[in-house]
Amino acid sequence: MRLEKFGLLVASTLVIAGCSFGPSESSSSSASPSTTSTASPSPSSTVVPTKTKIAAIYYVGDTAQGLRLYREFRHVTVHGSNSLGLESLRYLTAQGSHSVDSDYTNLWGNGSVINSVSVAGSKAIVDLKISHLNVGSEGEMRAIDQLVWTLTANDRSVKSVRFTSDGEPIESFAGHVDTTVGFARERSYDVLAPIWVTSPGAVVGNPVTIKGTACTFEAGIAWKLTRSGIVVKHGSVTAQQACPVRSVWQVSLGTLTAGTYTFTAIDYSAKDGSVTQQDSKKFTVK
């Protein structure tokens, strides 16, 4: 939540006790390691070393509870002495930047430019050239959360963020939310989608295991596996802990016939059985 209250923000409809940040934001052990490269020198240029690192990038998706965040791990180029936090924000806001999963949306990628990220202790100042965001109040808040959660995921020393443009406070990104104040991570169950499917990748071998994280009532998650629109398997699974704690879950699908499948994890409302949210991943079995 913002460090200072702002009257236009819509209060959360959930009334739940405090929640931790949830499972580690480190990428899985199967992710590619960081690599170092050097730009080809030319007579008139200075060689700037670069490294490729894995960064957590946050995107937005729609749910019955409103707009919520989803996370993808992406390979990000770090130039010279720049921090991963700075480069992850530049990756997020780069013109045309978008998520791998087509169900998610990037509210940035609109021509905004991250000039710098200055960190002192646990506080960061993000200086940017802002291009106006054409979103409502909820969208503007989620866009701010995209920046805050991406930065704090890739620089765990940062706990609060302020925004400036050429050193001066920015009044608002889209005209709805006061951005002259500081921001921290809100409670995860108010911001993150209840269920994430985090693996497998696009192409996998047998046996197939699906993994994810969740914050749901009594830790319950329903799931189905489809091929060409036909359900071939379905069931339910329980995360390690129930909400307000976000925790991991996994489903073992065993050996599947070669082909393309879609796995969908579903959160049903404890009140009326309607679908609160669902997340799906398409993958191909070799």
d(CA 54, CA 249): 23
Q: Does residue 105 lie within any of the structural domains?
A: yes
250 and 130 part of one domain: no
Residue 32 belongs to some domain of the structure: no
Are 50 and 92 part of one and the same domain? yes
Residues 58 and 157 in one domain: yes
* 96 and 129 belong to one structural domain: yes
If one compares 118 and 15, the residue with the highest pLDDT of the two is 118
Are 180 and 206 in a shared domain?
A: no
What's the total number of domains in the chain? 2
Quote the pLDDT of residue 94.
Answer: 94
Q: Are residues 143 and 98 in the same domain?
A: yes
How far is the C-alpha of 94 from the C-alpha of 91, rounded, in Å?
A: 5
- The band of 201, judged by pLDDT with boundaries at 50, 70 and 90, is confident
Query: Is 76 part of any domain?
Result: yes
pLDDT band at 13 (very low <50, low <70, confident <90, very high): very low
Q: What is the largest CA-CA distance in the chain?
A: 69
Tell me: the pLDDT tens digits for 223-266? Answer: 999 999 999 999 999 999 999 999 999 999 999 999 999 999 99
Joined together, the tokens standing for residue 33 give: 């390691």
Shared domain check, 259 and 147? no
For residue 119, name the pLDDT band (cuts at 50, 70, 90): very high
Residue 34 lies in a domain: no
Domain residues for 276? 195-285
The pLDDT score that the predictor gives to residue 48 is: 77
- State whether 52 and 172 are in the same domain: yes
User: What confidence score (pLDDT) does residue 5 get?
Assistant: 37
pLDDT at 14: 34
Q: Same domain for 59 and 150?
A: yes
For residue 56 the two structure tokens come to 């957590």
| 23, pLDDT greater than 60 | no
Tell whether 178 is covered by a domain.
yes
- DSSP string across 142-182: HHHHHHHHHHHHH-TT--EEEEEETTEE-S-SSSSS--SS-
pLDDT digits (tens, 9 = 90+) for 30-69: 344 444 444 444 555 677 799 999 999 999 999 999 999 9
Structure tokens at 48: 């700037």
Average pLDDT over residues 22-36: 48
pLDDT of 132: 80
Are residues 261 and 169 both part of a single domain?
A: no
- Residue ending a domain, among 160, 191, 222, is 191
The answer as to whether 141 is a domain residue is yes
Cis status of the peptide bond prior to 244, with omega within 30 of 0: yes
Give the CATH number of the domain where residue 217 resides: 2.60.40.10
**Which of 191, 224, 258 is where one domain is finished?**
191
Q: Could you tell me if 169 and 60 lie in one domain?
A: yes
Tell whether the model's pLDDT for residue 19 goes beyond 70.
Answer: no
Domain membership of residue 12 (yes or no) is: no
102 and 71 in a common domain: yes
**What is the pLDDT of the chain when averaged over all its residues?**
88
Residue 112, domain member (yes or no): yes
| Dihedral in degrees, nearest 10, Cα atoms 244, 108, 81, 179 | -70
Q: Of 143, 158, 191, at which residue does a domain stop?
A: 191
